[in-house]
């Protein structure tokens, strides 16, 4: 086993950390307070190749591996989880599925502008009555002349108000009410209309909107993969995307730990630094241990994916552990800072608010447990059958 990062991975990690410290951290509190989407930031990220880290160079990307991309998400989220969410959805949930499932023509047409950061990507699956049960979606696509006419509404669409390319899922078989009748489409901004910007607990520098698709006509060349095979696209996308959310959770928790440790080394009570008290030391020890354990699960899942190995179960394990760890340890950071931790003078209250969503989007913790259990039971069944 080799747990070290390669020279290229360390270089990308260092590049992202330096950018995050200079261009993101100083503004993160203001973006959160103002609920402002920092649109001007993303051309700067694109100039460094960070909007298409793991996209091949022939399609406008940096040509790095998937683990390098995960390192980028961790570092961006360490500075501002909203920025991490924007890049994660743009890359994992829009660019990579087109790269994996698209035709040569679709890859050549849609991927380079995304990888170069010329347009942002969005993922439109969830609806008001189709959340965890995504296969029950009602947005419909009907055959029309040389293509399809799409009508419906989507909810919780990250980047939806700013995206130029949407990976959107609609029902093309009216005879089915489950996942078997779903098809994936690639839409442009002109095909959708943002109707409501959500006011959220955290991730206030990311944009989350509801969208309407009002009889948008698209050609047959906008179908990604095959008609009625869209749910396979969605589930394959989420398999990789949840690893990115796990990396986001690790980045948030690491930022909380960094703040808590620095505070403990400076804050004095009863004539001593609070870092000298065993109660605080144990909190820091537990925080560091859980963060590192989650990080290793995340890196392992990312490695499995880039090696082309099964990663559905490991990815779900990484997201489950990392997201619940982040929620616990950001709370512990607030506890170490005491009253200051409950104020906006320090960033740990923001980390706490940002951490909660990692237990919800791209599959709740409850859904992750189902995915893990099914993976374990399926592998056990294969083992028994082979005996």
Find the CATH number of the domain harbouring 348: 1.20.140.10
Using the structure block, give the residue that is written with the tokens 């290229």. 8
- Total structural domains in the chain? 3
| Same domain for 241 and 133 | no
In a domain, 2, yes or no: no
**CATH number of the domain to which 45 belongs:** 1.10.540.10
Angle between the N-to-C axes of helices 81-90 and 25-34, in degrees from 0 to 180, rounded to the nearest 10: 90
Q: What is the pLDDT of residues 42-64, one digit of tens each?
A: 999 999 999 999 999 999 999 99
Q: What band does 386 get if pLDDT is binned at 50, 70 and 90? A: low
Q: Indicate yes or no: pTM above 0.85.
A: yes
In a domain, 247, yes or no: yes
Which run of H or of E encompasses 152?
strand 147-158
In the predicted model, what is the mean pLDDT of residues 15-31?
A: 98
What mean pLDDT comes out for the span 147-168? 97
pLDDT at 387: 61
Burial class (CB in 10 A: 0-12, 13-18, 19+), 109: middle
Catalytic site residue from 324, 332, 359, 362? 362
In a shared domain, residues 260 and 221: no
- pLDDT for 301 equals 97
Does the annotation count 362 as an active-site position? yes
Domain assignment present for 35: yes
Element (H, E) at 385: helix 365-386
Q: Answer left, alpha or beta for residue 279, where phi above 0 means left and psi between -120 and 50 means alpha.
A: alpha
Domain range holding 236?
232-386
Together in a domain, 337 and 326 = yes
């Amino acid at each position: 086993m080799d747990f070290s990062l390669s020279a290229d991975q360390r270089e990308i990690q260092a590049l992202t950390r330096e950018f995050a410290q200079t261009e993101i951290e100083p503004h993160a509190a203001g973006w959160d307070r103002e609920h402002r989407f920092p649109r001007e930031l993303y051309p700067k990220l694109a100039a460094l190749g960070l909007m298409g880290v793991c996209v091949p160079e022939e399609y406008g990307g940096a040509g790095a591996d998937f683990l390098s991309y995960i390192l980028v998400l961790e570092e961006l989220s360490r500075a501002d989880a909203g920025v991490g969410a924007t890049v994660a959805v743009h890359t994992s949930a829009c660019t990579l599925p087109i790269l994996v499932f698209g035709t040569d023509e679709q890859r050549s047409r849609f991927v380079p502008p995304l990888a170069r950061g010329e347009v942002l990507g969005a993922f439109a699956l969830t609806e008001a009555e189709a959340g965890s049960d995504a296969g029950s979606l009602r947005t419909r696509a009907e055959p029309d002349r040389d293509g399809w006419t799409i009508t419906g509404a989507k909810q919780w669409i990250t980047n939806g108000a700013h995206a130029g390319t949407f990976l959107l899922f609609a029902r093309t078989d009216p005879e089915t009410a489950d996942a078997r009748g779903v098809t994936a489409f690639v839409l442009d901004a002109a095909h959708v209309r943002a109707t409501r910007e959500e006011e959220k607990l955290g991730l206030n520098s990311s944009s989350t909107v509801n969208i309407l698709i009002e009889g948008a006509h698209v050609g047959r060349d906008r179908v990604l993969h095959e008609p009625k095979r869209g749910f396979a696209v969605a589930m394959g996308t989420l398999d990789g995307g949840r690893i990115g959310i796990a990396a986001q959770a690790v980045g948030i928790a690491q930022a909380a730990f960094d703040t808590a440790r620095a505070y403990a080394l400076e804050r004095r009570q009863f004539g001593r630094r609070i870092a000298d008290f065993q109660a605080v030391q144990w909190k820091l020890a537990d925080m560091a241990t859980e963060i590192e354990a989650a990080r290793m699960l995340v890196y392992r899942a990312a490695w499995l994916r880039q090696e082309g190995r099964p990663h559905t179960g490991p990815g779900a394990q990484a997201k489950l552990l990392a997201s619940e760890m982040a929620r616990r340890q950001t709370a512990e950071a607030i506890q170490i800072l005491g009253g200051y931790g409950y104020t906006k003078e320090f960033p740990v209250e923001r980390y706490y608010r940002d951490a909660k969503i990692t237990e919800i989007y791209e599959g709740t913790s409850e859904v992750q447990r189902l995915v893990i259990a099914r993976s374990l039971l399926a592998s056990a069944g294969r083992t028994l059958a082979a005996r």
